[in-house]
Chain A
């Protein structure tokens, strides 16, 4: 009797456990606001305050028409590559996604993306090609087809603190006109403590791939479609970075950076605290300064070119809208992309760009009343719009092994600035490593 009672108790306990697990694990669909409409599943990786902006844009789209309902889903950045790919492989990808620019060539080469120009009429495509800033167009293209449209492009420029520059007699009007002058000014602004530790960094160049463009070089010849990794211009760029690092000392700069509060995304930026006098950074800092240090006296300016170099040159990246192969609602996805990017109505879309503090992709957005109001609010943002508009502003080579190439470029710079290899040798080795990778890919039958 006792055994039977014990068994019954055990069974009840097991049932209760199963019921609890079923309650916890059972998928619960979020109620849809427009259940009668065609669902368009949208994945992105923005979090915190950015996620609210995305939700507002999705809400605006859903309110603007009565056919589709865009349903956003945040996926962690750590699975930003794998999750959508497994979705494509499993036949259940999102209909539309915002992804980083670096995936475009490799995913397009592997036929994982739907070409967006297929949704455009000839006129629309011509308008897009004419109006879109060169770099915004270039990043989305692979082998002559358009696979992605930018909604959150980045541009980089100099931030500087006029009060610190005044200490060495430089005003915004007398700000250096060349990279060499800028480097000299940076040296004057460096500050050290009694024990010889660097306490303030004037200016320190880096970003090899980008600086190659300022020297008139670059990693890719867009007219011939060939890689140009080891050229005299690129060598000059690497030599300059290396020489400047050598002046202060590689280890000194490393230690200085390690002691900074670089973990803070916004308010703790060392520039705000005065640890960096002049620094090269992205446009998003303008809004952050407005939010976390609104009284900070600072200016922005494009990076001056080296003597005889190219002004407003560099490389960039950003967030792009893509439609994965196998998307169930590609038309709905395309409508959403047009709505957000401003292809259908630039004036309306301009406010989305201002909500996120994003750079416009064409002058129609930049000149819209909403965007002009934003620039009046954040005048330092204009520098980045100017940079992005430049025909000399470009992106990394549009090759399927771009990630590998970018990794090895970073390593070449690292080897050179550490003094492990001379710049010429670092560049030669970089070229050799990429050549090996190309040969390997050819042997395996990959598309370039």
Chain B
């Protein structure tokens, strides 16, 4: 009994923090999504008006949703492919392997805001590093952040900078692949590509699945790069859902409306995560 009490005492700070700073705001935002609320004045009940307005009177709502969907559809697979490829490369036993691993992992621990600020300069069309390199190769680089087509893809490109985070998880997954399977494949005459395709990738699918789920959730919450680098422009091409929600909440002071947006986002993320889970039986292989 005493041990149990001590246990509760130890988790109490976290529990209090969770209830006060997560659970209470979480539940309150359900109520706020049915109100008109500007932070200062008391919330006024408006029923479903926020939700109705979102679907009937707000062009930017649909636009931001579309941008975010597009981002999730491109950035998540690209991130997975890059992460797996990098992990496979860094799994090869070469001299200085740990140094390379550290080098590729380091960018992922740089805060997103700092990364975005640096990339504003790297992607500058006239004096940026990327266009400087392209110029040396005889190519005139585009106006990465100022062009409504390229700005979106620039943010995806910048996302690869942090791929080291998922790479470490893939590396851990690669270590779990039983060596005897590779030996058996070798005996069967499988080459490197066949071994990767028939052994490594199938056994890596639980890790890929994990990164896919986290990637989808992260993609729908994407904010800081767009906020710092493009502010949603040009021509709303990088107006991500979370960014528009932030604008509604803090730029236009419409907390009730933003709460409704947050709950739609929550429902979407839960739905998509459920969808990803529903498909796992078909392609995720647990155990050798």
Contact = CB atoms under 8 A, between A and B. Distances in A.
Contacts of B52: 443
A420 interface: yes
A251 interface: yes
Interface stretch (B10-18, B76-84, B228-236): B228-236
Interface of A: 81-82, 85-86, 88-89, 106, 110-112, 251, 254-256, 258-259, 325, 401, 403-404, 407, 411, 414-415, 418, 420, 433, 436-437, 439-440, 443-446
A-B pairs, 6 with minimum CB distance: A259-B126, A440-B57, A440-B53, A436-B57, A258-B126, A89-B40
Given A258-B143, A436-B59, A440-B57, A85 B124 contact: no
Interface SS of A by simple majority: helix
Contacts of B257: 444
A436 B59 CA distance: 8
Interface residues of B, number: 32
Contacts of B146: 254, 258
Interface of B: 36, 38-41, 44, 46, 49-50, 52-53, 57-59, 124-127, 143, 146-148, 233-236, 250-253, 256-257
A84 to B, nearest CB: 10
B49 A444 contact: yes
A194 to B, nearest CB: 15
A88 B40 CA distance: 6
Given A110-B41, A251-B143, A436-B57, A414 B252 contact: no
A407 B236 CA distance: 11
A85 B233 CA distance: 27
Contacts of A420: 148, 235
Given A110-B41, A112-B40, A254-B146, A439 B57 contact: yes
B39 A89 contact: yes
B126 A81 contact: no
A401 B247 CA distance: 12
A258 B127 contact: yes
A111 B235 contact: no
Contact of A85 (B40, B44, B53): B40
A85 B250 CA distance: 10
Contacts of A254: 125, 143, 146
Contacts of A89: 39-40
B194 to A, nearest CB: 48
A106 B36 CA distance: 15
B234 A418 contact: yes
